[in-house]
Amino acid sequence: MRRIVNILIVCAVAVQMVGCVTMRKYDSARAEIRSLQNTLDARDAELSRLRHSYGTLNDQAKQLADNKFSLEMKVEQLLRDTARLGAEKRALVSRYKRLLEEGSAEASRMLEELSRNQAVLDARSAQIAELEATIAARDKALGDIRHKVEQALMGFDGKGLTISRRNGKVYVSMTDKLLFRSGSFDIDPEGARAVRQLSEVLASNPDIDIMVEGHTDNVPYRGTGQLRDNLDLSVKRATTVTRLLLENKKIDPLRVVSAGRGEYMPLSNENTAEARAQNRRTEIILSPKLDQLLELTK
């Protein structure tokens, strides 16, 4: 593309020097050169965006691996327990056979113990299979949640909204750029539109638990009235977003929890304007109900 632009420049200069074309054609050639240069700049910007997206996907893959690690360790422990019980079973069988050969009266008691051991083995094997199925179902549910949210909020890319997946949950993070003016808990119209679109996804997926968390930067709150500090401000912002979600009557209020974190859970500890802007956010944290999984891991 740059080679084409250079050739056109040379041609334009040559034409002007020899007077082979009119001034109108010369201006037309220069306009075409500028158009080609703008196209080249747009291609370079798109390449930069794609590189950034690739890095984000790598980060999400690492988060997924970390999230699954603890559950996989539980599966490994269950497998070790199964192997141990299997060895005990074999020892009991050997002992039982020896007692039968000796005509011992203890044989009947050993048979009962062997039966109990087999029942434990069967239950443990079933538990492993159920736990693995639940892990797979949870991973699929998280993927489905993120896809639906991304589709619903596609129009807010670059407007202060990000969607990520970590710790077995989907995080919808909205900065003050989208939601609130500085020091205020009155939601902006564009932010309200994003929250309402998200509420449609949540209403049609009743098995998703919802946590709304308000966060501020570390600059002391200077407002007046009912708010004393950043903690109060973060609580009010979380409840503002929660009330907006609950305007959708299809969302059960028992699914939603609000929390204010103040300045105490920053994304960045750097004392810069960019870091403070990143920390001023409201996060809507989505997770599939894990009652079955939690029961299995007790």
Residue 14 lies in a domain: yes
| 219 lies in the same domain as 105 | no
Residue 172 lies in a domain: yes
| Beta bridge pairs of residue 281 | 175, 215
pLDDT in tens, 114-158: 788 888 878 877 878 777 777 777 778 778 888 888 888 888 878
| 250 lies in the same domain as 121 | no
Tokens found for residue 298: 């007790």
Range from 34-48, 182-196, 217-231 carrying the lowest mean pLDDT: 34-48
Whether the predicted pLDDT of 51 surpasses 70: no
Residues in the chain: 298
Q: How many domains does the chain have?
A: 3
| 112 lies in the same domain as 174 | no
Residue 260's closest CA among 236, 285, 235, 282? 235
Q: Exposed/middle/buried for 2, CB within 10 Å: 0-12, 13-18, 19+?
A: exposed
pLDDT at site 292: 43
- List the alpha helices (DSSP H) in the chain: 2-18, 23-102, 107-152, 189-203, 230-246, 273-279, 291-296
- Domain CATH for 190: 3.30.1330.60
Do the strands 256-260 and 161-166 form a parallel or antiparallel pair, or are they unpaired? unpaired
Whether the predicted pLDDT of 58 surpasses 80: no
pLDDT at site 4: 52
Instruction: Measure Cα distances from 270 to 72, 216, 222, 267 in Å.
Output: 35, 14, 21, 9
Range of the domain at 221: 153-290
Task: Match 């990520």 to its residue by tokens.
Answer: 164
CA pair distance 251, 86, nearest whole angstrom: 48
Mean pLDDT in residue range 77-98: 82
Where is the domain boundary, 139, 162, 177? 139
CA pair distance 92, 116, nearest whole angstrom: 11
| 23 lies in the same domain as 108 | no
| 208 lies in the same domain as 244 | yes
Where is the domain boundary, 139, 168, 195? 139
Residue 265 lies in a domain: yes
Residue 152's closest CA among 139, 161, 165, 140? 161
pLDDT in tens, 229-244: 999 999 999 999 999 9
% of the chain exceeding 90 in pLDDT? 35
pLDDT at site 179: 93
| 108 lies in the same domain as 173 | no
Residue 298 lies in a domain: no
Whether the predicted pLDDT of 16 surpasses 60: no
Mean pLDDT in residue range 77-95: 83
pLDDT at site 11: 47
Residue 282's closest CA among 156, 205, 166, 177? 177
Residue 172's closest CA among 284, 287, 56? 284
Whether the predicted pLDDT of 3 surpasses 50: yes
Long-range contacts: 59-62, Cβ < 8 Å, 24+? 60/164, 60/165, 60/166
Tokens found for residue 76: 């490994």
| Averaged pLDDT score across all residues of the chain | 80
pLDDT at site 138: 73
Whether the predicted pLDDT of 296 surpasses 50: no
CA angle 192, 153, 63 (to 5 degrees): 115
Whether the predicted pLDDT of 15 surpasses 50: no
Whether the predicted pLDDT of 293 surpasses 50: no
Task: Match 């041609």 to its residue by tokens.
Answer: 11
| 88 lies in the same domain as 27 | no
pLDDT at site 246: 97
Instruction: Measure Cα distances from 273 to 117, 234, 269, 279 in Å.
Output: 64, 19, 11, 10
| 235 lies in the same domain as 276 | yes
Task: Kindly report whether the global pTM for this prediction surpasses the value 0.75.
Answer: no
| 160 lies in the same domain as 135 | no
Residue 219's closest CA among 285, 263, 159? 263
| 160 lies in the same domain as 229 | yes
Tokens found for residue 157: 């890319």
Whether the predicted pLDDT of 13 surpasses 70: no
Tokens found for residue 220: 């002391």
Residue 90 lies in a domain: yes
Residue 66 lies in a domain: no
| 18 lies in the same domain as 91 | no
CA pair distance 298, 291, nearest whole angstrom: 11
Cα radius of gyration rounded to whole Å, the chain: 32
Residue 63 lies in a domain: no
Residue 281 lies in a domain: yes
| 39 lies in the same domain as 81 | no
pLDDT in tens, 247-257: 999 999 999 99
For residue 268, the 8-state DSSP code is -
Answer with the residue of higher pLDDT: 27 or 173.
173
